[in-house]
């Protein structure tokens, strides 16, 4: 238990601070799903916990769409009570679990999709890393692209190994990321990998048919998360940054036959070339994961978003005390 946040909530200090810290917020989740292996499926919040959080948000915030958030930002008419819900990556459970829950509560939401993964159904590299490293049949991990050759033992040690892999995946050019990912998959037979994907349905991606259904039948805005869940940082080539940000917008507009106005930088990383590309592409707003306040001086292409904690007391405390 997080004793500090528990006490903040139980004493009422969090509620007091929330009233004093009124500021518009864009919140982000990933998926909503029943899960069986929390470490591997770490991006997905269980439905009952999600519903509890939604009840709290409805009681304490004005839950608005991304278009309304943009309108209020542009007209400088925020009340400070706004919260806009967003979901990253494009998981199938956004359609099967998430959308019906939000529809029942009349809550609008935005899903940021990585278009190449929607095209192919290919799982994200960090999921593959978690799932392969924790796979009981993988007792020795050999990833030449990282110079990594290690015997896997306890669950604790495996998690430490994944931490090293995750850091490398998030700080490498896309060609290196693809090579590492392929070498991770290569630790398993084809049959084992297919079974792994079957076992962890929470991380399955939507198809374009699913995305169209989500956009057409629910109060859902579709935004870009680049082509390949691409980290838009300085270690990438400028031309590739431009391609990822500009072309993903075009793909979404072609597939859905509507404008794509919003971008969320994968992992929240952003560099000057990415800011320029977002502006050139014609996005209205682009979001980082910076936990800062919205001010008149902030760039529309470097807007803050706040990650939601799944643990109740931390969730409540964060919404009260952050951003400072």
For 42-88, the three-class secondary structure string (H helix, E strand, C coil) is CCEECHHHHHHHHHHHHHHCEECCHHHHHHHHHCCCCCCCEEEEEEE
Mean pLDDT for all residues in the chain: 94
Domain of 226, CATH number, reads: 3.20.20.370
Residue 17 pLDDT more than 70? no
**73 shares its domain with 139:** no
Q: What does the alpha-carbon distance between residue 312 and residue 99 come to, in Å, rounded to a whole number?
A: 22
- Among 174, 201, 228, where does a domain finish? 201
**261 shares its domain with 175:** no
**154 shares its domain with 18:** no
Q: What does the alpha-carbon distance between residue 86 and residue 69 come to, in Å, rounded to a whole number?
A: 12
Report the DSSP pairing between strands 220-224 and 109-113: parallel
Q: What is the pLDDT of residues 22-40, one digit of tens each?
A: 899 999 999 999 988 999 9
**22 shares its domain with 117:** yes
**210 shares its domain with 309:** yes
Mean pLDDT within 141-152: 98
**236 shares its domain with 197:** no
Distances (CA, A) of 126 to 42, 81, 147, 166: 11, 34, 18, 6
Domain hosting residue 195, numbered range: 125-201
**212 shares its domain with 170:** no
Top-confidence residue, 320 or 198: 198
**22 shares its domain with 163:** no
**209 shares its domain with 295:** yes
- Among 147, 170, 201, where does a domain finish? 201
> Residue 157's pLDDT is what?
98
- Among 154, 173, 201, where does a domain finish? 201
Number of structural domains (the chain) is: 2
**157 shares its domain with 229:** no
**221 shares its domain with 197:** no
Confidence category of residue 151, pLDDT binned at 50, 70, 90: very high
**53 shares its domain with 137:** no
């Amino acid at each position: 238990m997080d004793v500090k946040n528990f006490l903040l909530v139980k004493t009422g200090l969090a509620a007091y601070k929330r009233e004093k810290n009124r500021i518009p917020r864009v919140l982000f989740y990933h998926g909503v799903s029943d899960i069986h292996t929390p470490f591997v499926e770490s991006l997905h919040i269980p439905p009952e916990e999600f519903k509890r959080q939604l009840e709290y948000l409805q009681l304490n915030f004005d839950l608005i769409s991304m278009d309304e958030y943009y309108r209020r930002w542009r007209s400088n008419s925020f009340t400070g009570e706004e919260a806009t819900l967003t979901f990253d990556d494009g998981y199938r459970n956004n359609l099967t679990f998430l959308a019906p829950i939000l529809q029942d509560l009349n809550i609008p939401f935005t899903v940021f999709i990585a278009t190449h993964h929607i095209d192919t159904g290919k799982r994200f590299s960090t999921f593959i890393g978690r799932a392969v490293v924790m796979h009981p049949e993988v007792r020795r991990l050999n990833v030449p692209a990282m110079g990594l050759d290690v015997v896997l033992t306890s669950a604790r040690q495996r998690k430490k190994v994944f931490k090293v892999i995750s850091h490398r995946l998030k700080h490498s050019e896309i060609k290196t990321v693809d090579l590492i990912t392929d070498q991770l998959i290569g630790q398993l037979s084809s049959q084992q990998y297919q079974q792994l994907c079957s076992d962890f349905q929470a991380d399955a991606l939507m198809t374009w048919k699913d995305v169209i259904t989500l956009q057409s039948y629910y109060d859902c805005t579709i935004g870009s998360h680049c082509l390949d869940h691409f980290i838009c940082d300085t270690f990438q080539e400028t031309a590739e940054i431009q391609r990822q940000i500009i072309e993903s917008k075009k793909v979404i507009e072609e597939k859905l036959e509507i404008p794509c106005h919003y971008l969320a930088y994968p992992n929240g990383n952003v560099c000057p070339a990415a800011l320029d590309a977002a502006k050139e592409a014609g996005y209205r707003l682009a979001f980082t994961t910076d936990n800062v306040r919205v001010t008149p001086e902030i760039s529309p292409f470097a807007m803050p978003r706040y990650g939601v904690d799944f643990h109740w007391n931390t969730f409540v405390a964060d919404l009260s005390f952050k951003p400072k």
